[in-house]
Amino acid sequence: MSHGFVRLRFPSPVLTATLAALVVSLSLAAGSQAQDPAERFKGKRVTIIVGATPGGSYDVFGRLVARHAAKYFPGKPVLVVQNVPGGGHLRGLRATMKAKPDGLTVGLLHPRWVQRKLLGIEVPDFDLNTVRVIGSPTGGVKEVEMTCIRRELATSWEGVMKLGRPVTRGSATRGGPGTLGTEFVELIGGPIKMVYGYAGSSEIMAAFDRGELDTTSCRGSHVPRLFPEWITKKILAPLFWWAAKPSEDWLHQLGAPMPPHLFDVVKVTAEQKKVFEVASDITMTDRIFIMPPGVPENILAAWRKAFEATVRDQAFVEEAKVAGFETGFSTADDFKRVIKTFQELPPAGRDLLKRLVGE
């Protein structure tokens, strides 16, 4: 029997809280989009997250941007570097992606995580479709990549072959530009054994200096700055190179002849060569400054404008040169074009690339 009462249904506490959070989130997003960039950055502290230890190339460029960018931002904020090493830059990447999307936190993206996402390997908290790309201060620059061995062990690749055992090389994790060639030689069957788990370039080089590793990167941008005694004491013997050919001047400093290209120390098929070239193209998308998903378009535009002006600043270029680095500039569109090269690989090529850069 009906008594004329209407039964009211109240939303659950969980649903009520969810709806309230959604309203607040939408309100904040609308406010962020409407806020003038000058007001957003004025008197604020902007954090640049570097996913490696101090001293390496990512740290160098993070600090160069922090030092020169403020004058190009509306509101002239203070930029500082925060080192969050671990997992081959993964800890820093995750911290960046989970930061508040207000334009006050940026990070540097390592290409190994781009490679893994393209290959369908899970990368926590990172999505290529939603990450906000600013640009790179070294876009399009091919750096000299060369693996050197301790001279007391061998002075050439032929000497390595005579050792009768693999030589060790350190890295944070697979797929880094500085170790890609060495990992490729190991994959093809060369006497190399990669040792993973280091926090960054400076830590890896320190491990070599202590005698824990047989080989190391011998970039002209790293060695003179971090371990100049390796040059004066002629400790290093180049084994092979890739990317850009080493200069006669740098080889003269090392006291060594021109080493072979990596394709000349191991036999490779046309397909293997193509896979390595694609992987190399992706690793050239190096030191990319990014922001988390959801950063408003006007704040992203302000960042891109300030970033380009910073990278083209002559003082920035000169300081990078003193540190041993050549500068360039690439945009989000350049980043997208490089990624398209991956789509040209056949399935067998993708499988080989996954073995090269995956876990």
Residue-wise pLDDT for 259-315, tens only, equals: 999 999 999 999 999 889 888 888 777 899 999 999 999 999 999 999 999 999 999
CATH number given to 144-281: 3.40.190.10
State the pLDDT confidence band at 34, using cuts at 50, 70 and 90.
Answer: low
pLDDT at 358: 72
CA distances, 351 to each of 55, 115, 121, 185, 284 (Å): 35, 12, 12, 17, 21
Who contacts 275 (Cβ-Cβ below 8 Å, separation ≥6)?
345, 349, 352, 353, 356
Q: Please give the DSSP secondary-structure letter assigned to residue 330.
A: B
pTM: 0.71
**72-85 confidence digits (pLDDT tens):** 999 999 999 999 99
Considering the chain, what percentage of its residues have pLDDT values greater than 70? 90
Burial class of residue 5 (count of CB atoms within 10 Å of its CB; 0-12, 13-18, 19+): exposed
How far, in Å, CA of 230 to CA of 213, rounded? 14
List C-alpha distances in Å: 318 to 108, 121, 224, 312, 323: 21, 39, 17, 10, 9
Mean pLDDT, to the nearest integer, of 197-219?
A: 93
Of the candidates 139, 203, 193, 182, which has an alpha carbon nearest to the alpha carbon of residue 337? 139
CATH of domain 36-141+284-357: 3.40.190.150
Q: Provide CATH 3.40.190.150 ranges for the chain.
A: 36-141+284-357
pLDDT category of residue 359 using cuts at 50, 70 and 90: low
Q: Which residue, chain included where needed, has tokens 């006291």? A: 255
3-state SS, residue 89: coil
pLDDT range class, residue 136, cuts 50, 70, 90 = very high
- Token pair, residue 153, equals 């062990």
Residues of the chain with CATH 3.40.190.10: 144-281
What's the pLDDT score for residue 321? 92
**249 burial via Cβ count (<10 Å: 0-12, 13-18, 19+):** exposed
Average pLDDT over the chain reads 88
